[in-house]
Amino acid sequence: MIVRIKNKKKLNSFAKQAHSYKQSSLIQSQIVQMLLASCDFTSIHRVMDIGCGCGAVALEIDKLGIKVDKFYALDIAHEMISQHPKKTKYIPHIELICEDFEEFVFDKYDVVFAASSLQWAQDLDSVMYKIAKSSHMVRFAIHTNKSLDSVHRFLGTSSPLRDKKCLESILQKYFNGKIWIEKLERNFTNRQDFLGHLKESGLLGGGVLNFSQARYFRNNIPFAKIEYEVLMFAGVSKFSFR
C-alpha cells in the first residue's frame, strides 16, 4: 500500500534525483552495511525503515538472511519508493508508505532503522521522541556537519547539518546505546562525476550560490574526493514497550 504525501513542495526536492540516486549510491550502501553489521538478531517481527529510498536496508537485511514478518518502508519521494522491492526472500510483506516522517504517526515496531535520513529533520528532538515512544530497538546513521567539509571550506559556507555533539545530546535523551563515528571518502578521477555525485547527495544544502559563483565552483573546485562523517547509533528506547 502507498500513502500519498501531502507536502508536495518538500517531496519534489527529493524526487528530482530519484532515478540517478539508485545508480550512484555507493556511499549509502556502505553506510547501510555498517549499520546492519551492528544487528545481532536472526529474526524481527515488525520493522520500520525511515527514509527507505530505493530499498537499501531491506535488501541488506535480506542478504544477511534476517527474517522479518512485516516491513514498513517510509519515504517522502514517490519516485524513490516506487523502486523499493515489494517483497524479498526473507521479507514476505513490505508496506510502502509515501509520507513525510516528521508528520507520520508511528505505530509500534521491534526495530526502527534510519540510514541517512534523520539529518533532514527540522525538529529532530520531536522526531526522536516519537520514534522512542514507538520502538524497542533503533539503528540510526546520521550525517554530521563534517560531511562535505572540504567543499564547504572551498565555498566559505556552513553545513546545514547538525554537529556530533548536538546529535549525541538528542539521542541520549531518548535512547540508551552505542554511538560511534564513521568517516568515509569517495574518490573521483574527473570533475563531471564529482559534480554529479555532489548534486545527487543533497547534503550541500542548495541555493547558496549565484550564477557566477556556481560557474566558478564548477570550474575550480578540487574534485579528487568527497568526505563524509556519519554518526552511527545502535540502541534501545528509554520508553521501550517491552
Cross-strand pairs, 70:
46
On the question of pLDDT at 22 being above 50, the answer is: no
Which residues 6+ apart lie within 8 Å of 51 measured at CB? 74, 75, 76, 101, 114, 115, 116, 117, 118, 120
Asked if 77 contacts 2 with a C-beta cutoff of 8 angstroms, the reply is no
Q: What is the pLDDT of residues 26-80, one digit of tens each?
A: 788 899 999 999 888 888 999 999 999 999 999 999 999 999 999 999 999 998 8
Integer Cα distance of 205 and 30 in angstroms: 22
Integer Cα distance of 144 and 188 in angstroms: 22
Q: How confident is the model at residue 15 (pLDDT cuts 50, 70, 90)?
A: very low
Domain residue ranges of the chain, discontinuous segments joined by +: 8-237
Asked if 165 contacts 229 with a C-beta cutoff of 8 angstroms, the reply is no
pTM: 0.85
Nearest C-alpha neighbor of 75 from the set 54, 58, 99: 99
Burial state string for 99-121 with b = 16 or more CB within 10 A and e = fewer than 16: bbbbebebeebbbbbbbbbbbbb
Q: Environment class of residue 151 by beta-carbon count within 10 Å: exposed (0-12), middle (13-18) or buried (19+)?
A: buried
pLDDT, residue 14, reads 44
Q: Does domain 8-237 have CATH number 3.40.50.150?
A: yes
Q: What is the pLDDT of residues 112-165, one digit of tens each?
A: 999 999 999 999 999 999 999 999 999 999 999 999 998 888 888 888 999 999
Which residues 6+ apart lie within 8 Å of 60 measured at CB? 32, 33, 36
Mean pLDDT, the chain, as a whole number?
86
